[in-house]
Amino acid sequence: MDPKQQVSFLWNLQEPYKPSKADLEVAEQWTELDWSYLDLQILPMTMPLCTRLKVFDISGNNLESLHAVAFKLKTLEDLDLSANKITEVHSSLSMLTGLKELNLSSNYLTAFPVSIRELVNMEVLYLSHNKIKEIPGEISSLVKLKTFYINSNSLTHLPFELEEISSLRFINAKNNPLIQPPTAVCDSGSDAILRYLRNAREKAVRACRLQLNILGEVCAGKSSLVKSLTTEKPHLTAEEDRTCVLDQLLWEEEDVTFNINDFGGHEIYRVVHNFFLAKDGLTLLVFNIALYETSNFHALIGQWIETLCMRVPEAMIALVGTHIDECGREVAESKSQDVLERADKFIQEKTGERNTKEKIQIVVQKTFPDAITEKETKRRRQFGIYLVDQIFLVSSKNLEGFDLLKEKLIQVAKTKALILPQSWLAVSKFVQKAKSERTDCNCLSVQELSREYSSIIRKSSEKVKKAGASRRENQEKVGRSKTTKDIKPKKPSFFSHTLQKLQRAFSPRQAKTAQASSKSTTENQDEPSDETEAEDIQLQMILDTLHFLRKTGEVLWFPENSFLLNIVFHNQDVVIDLLKAVFRHDMEDELQYDKAPFRTEYTHPRFINEREDLLKRGILSRKMIACLWEKFGLKNTEIDAMIELMLKFDLCYDVSVQETEEEVDSTRASHFHIPWLLRETRPGDVMLQWPASLPSDHVQLTLEYHFQNSCPIGLYEMAAVRLHRYLGPFKTTRIDWTDGVVAQVGQGFLNMERRETATGGLIMVAIRGKNVSDLWPHTVKLHDEMVEILEQECPGSRCDAYLVCPHCVAAGFQDPTLFPAEVLTSPPPMTLSVVPCLRSANGKVPAYLVYPNAQDQGIMTADHRRALRAHRVRLVEDISSPSALDILNRLYAAAIITEREMVTMRSADLKYDMVEVLLDILPGKGDRAFGEFVTGLECCGYGDIARLLKYQFKF
């Protein structure tokens, strides 16, 4: 029987009909029922006749509740009620004592179902995408729980009792307004959540911390505002003392801690400000209201709002008008009303639907519905700018208006209060102290912070022991079976026996290599000492603390980079000053041979050569960088760290050419190309590689990225840096100028250019060659990179991406047909061989000119999608990290997943996240993807689950 026939069969067995023995035998033989998406509003009263039912999927229906009869299915182990309209769960759910997996995701629950606490055999629980506000501490009764999805609800707290569940291995609590633990902890994974709960349970405090970003034009009064606000004394900043790029300071007021970033008006901040602006912070946009006129709104205010819309689309902005003593309050209030109205309208225009003309013809839109839908979905979810509905008018000369501003800042900070372990705050204070007192220290090491953390723990150990003893006494009184001290490690061992307990409880440490771990496994079978284990745990705790401080913008730290893993940049103003020394507009004036230290480090001819390299070609040697940074007194290790940081920021790339014996022997890069420093226009010899007209035997694939206004500052340069990694052996063919680059790539040539048009900015990426099939892989990869850069650096930018019709390019049409770039990742409609182009003679062009995978069509069948869904939890839990990587490499080699998808999955902090993302995208890749995935499982030794996927449904 199909699912609908099964439902009808049970309905027909209801009274007054008396089921025959044959009827009962039919119902009894069912062990699995899939009644998903049948538009059911109620279940048959005869459900208890299914006496052997173990798996019951009734997801995607219209059930508002379940009758008690549904809970008489004593044999049920897996119940899927997701995507219904359930508002509460009947208490009879507790009767399903054998239930191991329950899915109540995507319903209308507002409270945690109390009856779930009785399901002591529960292993997997899905409660995501509801409106649950609280999880009771009694959840600890689910002693076998392994996997818990509670993401996308309305939770503010996770109960400490979660860490008492010794079997719990995976928690997803993302997309909740959490203050316990902070969202930064949830983003770090399950182990970090459990460590936080364990640490905060010992000693937690309510912390009000807010990053305060001060932005605005030069001479707007930003530095004076900060000084007056923090000292409560009038302060006017002298011209020579104005902020060049960034000043940082700590301000404490009424139990609130403000981390203040006072940005100068220099453009360099706009290049790297994503590394200093936290989306959870508050931005004060400062302008001189005495100078404000309607005509200069964009210069004083609009361009800064536009930058924030592009770079930090979830920002909270408050407008501050300074210098009211120069115009009077009455005039200032009149102007402020105009400013507020214009700012609100400006934000609505930037974040609302675009008014720019779409260049896609109606016939093209009908051909690419999926691509158009994807584009509109991205637009709708992109923006969340919040503008405080009043302007704060102040004077740093007489402190007028500062009381009201301070009151608002404290109010905002208290609404963002978090529950933090006391040790985290102690580490934060240590970092701030090092920033203010250790002027010779440009960065800290993780080991140094770990030692400080150990000192903090030692000082509070007696209090912790007393608190733990008191809690254990209370737990014994109420009959609890285990204490915090008795909790066993969570995860299976991946490395050495010496570190077994650590690895079960926490994520693998990057500092330990697999080789060292393997050696330890064979040579040392003893349990680690309490002291060693405590040190390892404290190290992991300090890493958790650093993840939090990084997320809130207090430090710069890059654990994903092996070179920078041990380095914590706590003095961010030093970092920005170092960048300013390299990215300066007066570089030609700075590079004079008679200045120190150039004369002591260079002969005159060598200096002239390197000066020309820098000014004309944007190439900078490590030696020249060291000279530019000489006044900062950096050590060699600090210079290397800063260069690595520039590489990490995509500000430069390595173009080292060893010239001396010292350079040949060194593994350290010696020369770097920095596109920002280029001043030359398009050189004439570019025509040799990229003729103005397309050769008759070539085809050209062109991508265009249109911006509503100018191209975001720094975006093209970052793309030019990122491009270098794809040139392979052809890197030396590269020719750069201020707004463009040409290079050989594979069997063709590539051209990327930045242009300003009458309607806005444009970045064009084009590849030419004789065979279109050779060009598509490069085109798709470069588009993935551009999308990634836009999402990382300008997530709120108003950008439309198009594929220019290759036929129109070959014909030289000035107004070519533009296809939405989403076609690069969308499978073509089945049997599609041509697509419409109104500029062609017959109104059509071959599909292979528009769709990269036009010859590889296919949509995954329903059975294969059901198989992946049915075994999802097992796949996530069982597949090891090495096997997951092997499978990813297999899918990438088969051109099933793109390089961007590959990088995204490989960069996941946790193995679980990697497999989760893979299972999310596989259904959209077709049946060939399913086959390659199953084959990959078999090759990695997962034959049993591969057989389940293949034979449970037809394969």
CA distance 549 to 568: 10
Instruction: Decide: 517 and 496 in contact? Cβ < 8 Å.
Output: yes
Helix, strand or coil, per DSSP, at residue 336: helix
Q: What mean pLDDT comes out for the span 628-652?
A: 89
Q: Is the pLDDT of residue 864 over 50?
A: yes
Within this chain, do residues 620 and 650 fall inside the same structural domain, yes or no?
A: yes
Q: In this structure, what is the dihedral angle of CA atoms 9, 11, 12, 15, given to the nearest 10 degrees?
A: 140
Share of the chain above pLDDT 70, in %: 83
Q: Are 9 and 134 contained in the same domain? A: yes
Q: Could you tell me where the DSSP H helices lie in 119-189?
A: 183-186
Provide DSSP, 100-127: -EEE--SS---S--GGGGG-TT--EEE-
Residues 671 and 712 in one domain: no
Instruction: List the CATH number of the domain containing 712.
Output: 3.30.310.180
User: Looking at the predicted structure, is the pLDDT value of residue 810 above 70?
Assistant: yes
Residue 345: which CATH number? 3.40.50.300
Domain boundary residue, one of 178, 198, 228: 178
- Nearest partner of 782 among 673, 704, 892, 893, judged by Cα: 704
Q: Which whole-number Å values give the CA distances from 829 to 195, 839, 929, in the listed order?
A: 49, 22, 17
Least confident of 336-345, 543-552, 800-809: 543-552
Q: Do residue 159 and residue 212 come from a single domain? A: no
DSSP letters of 726-788?
G-GGGGGG-EEETTEEEEEETTEEEEEEEEEETTEEEEEEEEEES-HHHHHHHHHHHHHHHHH
> Which ranges of 478-529 does DSSP label H, i.e. alpha helix?
500-505, 514-523
Dihedral, CA of residue 451, residue 452, residue 454 and residue 458, to nearest 10: 140
**Are the C-beta atoms of residues 869 and 935 closer than 8 Å to each other?**
no
Between residues 495 and 857, the one the model is more confident about: 857
Q: Is residue 448 pLDDT above 70, yes or no?
A: yes
Looking at the fold, whether 919 and 833 belong to one and the same domain comes out as no
Going from the C-alpha of 165 to that of each of 11, 785, 881, the distances in angstroms are 41, 42, 24
| 500-535: pLDDT as tens digits | 333 333 333 333 333 333 334 334 444 555 566 666
Q: What does the alpha-carbon distance between residue 856 and residue 875 come to, in Å, rounded to a whole number?
A: 27
Q: How confident is the model at residue 104 (pLDDT cuts 50, 70, 90)?
A: very high
In a domain, 478, yes or no: no
Q: Say if residue 69 is in the same domain as residue 173.
A: yes
Q: Please report whether residue 540 resides in a domain.
A: no
Confidence of residue 786 (pLDDT cuts 50, 70, 90): very high
User: Is the Cβ–Cβ distance between 772 and 701 less than 8 Å?
Assistant: yes
Give the pLDDT mean for 192-198. Answer: 91
Based on the structure, what is the number of domains in the chain? Answer: 5
Helix (H) or strand (E) holding 819: strand 818-820
Which pLDDT tens digit goes with each residue over 719-751?
Answer: 999 888 888 788 888 999 999 999 999 889 999
Q: Based on the domain organization, do 657 and 708 belong to the same domain?
A: no
The closest alpha carbon to 180, from 211, 158, 150, belongs to 158
Higher-confidence position of 102 and 876: 102
pLDDT digits (tens, 9 = 90+) for 905-920: 887 767 778 888 888 8
Q: What is the pLDDT of residues 574-627, one digit of tens each?
A: 888 888 888 877 788 899 999 989 999 999 999 999 998 888 888 899 999 999
Asked whether residue 742 falls in the same domain as residue 652, the answer is: no
CA 153 centroid distance within chain: 20
pLDDT on residue 357? 36
pTM above threshold 0.85 = no
CATH of the domain at 113: 3.80.10.10
Which of the pair, 101 or 468, is modelled with greater confidence? Answer: 101
Beta-carbon count within 10 A of 484 CB: 17
Q: Is 169 within 8 Å of 873 (Cβ atoms)? A: no
Q: Is residue 80 part of a domain?
A: yes
Beta strands 760-769 and 799-804 are unpaired
DSSP state of 669: -
Instruction: Choose the final residue of a domain: 849, 882, 916.
Output: 849
781 and 840 co-located in one domain: yes
pLDDT of residue 87: 94
In a domain, 801, yes or no: yes
Contacts of 134 (CB under 8 A, 6+ apart): 111, 112, 155, 157
Tell me if residue 462 falls in helix, strand or coil.
Answer: helix
- Please check whether residue 853 is in contact with residue 830, taking contact to mean a CB–CB distance below 8 angstroms: no
Say yes or no: 130 and 72 in one domain: yes
Q: How far apart are CA 757 and CA 775, in angstroms?
A: 27
8-state DSSP, 613:
I
Q: Write down the pLDDT at residue 365.
A: 44
**Alpha-carbon torsion (298, 304, 310, 314), positive or negative:** negative
Q: Mean of the pLDDT values across residues 763-786?
A: 91
Residue 104 lies in a domain: yes
**Does the structure show a pLDDT above 80 at 360?**
no
Please give the sequence-ordered ranges of beta strands (E in DSSP) within 246-356, or none if there are none: 246-253, 256-263, 282-288, 316-322
* 942's tokens: 């997962």
**Contact, 213 vs 261, CB < 8 A?**
yes
Residue that is last in its domain, among 124, 158, 178: 178
Buried b / exposed e along 908-925 (16+ C-beta atoms within 10 A): bbbbbbbbbebbebbbeb
Do the domain assignments include residue 556? no
Taking 50 as the threshold, does the pLDDT of residue 482 lie above it? no
> What is the per-residue pLDDT for 496?
33
pLDDT of 139-167, one tens digit each?
Answer: 999 999 999 999 999 999 999 999 999 99
The type of residue at 913 is D
CA–CA gap between residue 285 and residue 305 (Å, rounded):
8
What is the C-alpha separation between 819 and 952, in angstroms, rounded? Answer: 41
Same domain, residue pair 826 and 878: no
Q: Report which secondary-structure segment, H or E, holds 921.
A: helix 911-921
The predicted-structure confidence for 889-901, as pLDDT tens digits, reads as follows 888 877 778 777 8
On whether residue 715 sits in a domain, the answer given is: yes
615 is in which domain, residue-wise? 584-677
- d(CA 287, CA 881) in angstroms, rounded, equals 52
161 shares its domain with 296: no
Task: Give the mean pLDDT of the chain.
Answer: 82
Cβ-count burial of 533 within 10 angstroms (0-12 exposed, 13-18 middle, 19+ buried)?
middle
Is residue 153 a part of any domain in this protein? yes
**CA–CA distance from 321 to each of 315, 329, 333, 395, 405 (Å)?**
19, 11, 10, 8, 11
